[in-house]
Amino acid sequence: MNFNVPNSEVVAMRGLVPLHAPLQQRLPVFDGVLDLVRCGRAVNRWIPLAAMEFLLYDVDRVLRSGGYLWIDHFFSKGADLSKVYGPLIGKLGYKKVKWAVANKTDSSGLKNGEVYLTALLQKPLFRSGL
């Protein structure tokens, strides 16, 4: 896709497929074929929880075993990350390769106690009990 910004072209030059998809539908790829899925800043606390859960399980569907989910600059309130979003992400059973949380330092972030999460998670090679 080309949104008249160089991001998609840079991704394509590296041999990857840039895909911008709406949250209301399944990702348009087959099951278990992607090595990496990156969710950028658009995936954040403003997305309804049901839509976030749908997105995470759809990402799980398209990732191959051993593939990576990269959650980049996800922001939420600090309490919500530990009570809502952390457990939701944890339901996937992925290995936490990197889990970094930092305070959001703009005026809104400071006032509302918001944090950024950047995480690199690896899908397990095998699932026990499934």
Burial 72-88 (b: 16+ CB within 10 A, else e): eebbbbbebbeeebeee
pLDDT number for residue 5: 58
Residue with tokens 């911008």: 20
Among 104, 96, 109, 30, smallest CA distance to 68 is for 96
**Predicted pLDDT at 62:** 95
The per-residue pLDDT for 32 is: 96
pLDDT of residue 4: 58
- pLDDT in the model for residue 58: 95
The predicted pLDDT at position 91 comes to 93
- Count the Cβ atoms, other than its own, within 10 Å of residue 7: 13
Q: Select from 54, 80, 66 the least CA-distant residue to 121.
A: 66
Q: How far is CA 33 from the centre of its chain?
A: 17
Mean pLDDT of residues grouped by 10 in the chain (130 residues)? 61 73 83 90 83 93 96 91 94 96 89 93 81
**How far apart are alpha carbons 39 and 59 in whole angstroms?**
10
Q: Which two tokens stand for residue 101?
A: 């949380």
Q: How far apart are CA 14 and CA 5, in angstroms?
A: 16
- Rounded-to-integer distance, Cα 108 and Cα 110, Å: 6
Planar angle of CA 109, 95, 130, nearest 5 degrees: 120
- pTM confidence score: 0.83
pLDDT value, residue 81 = 93
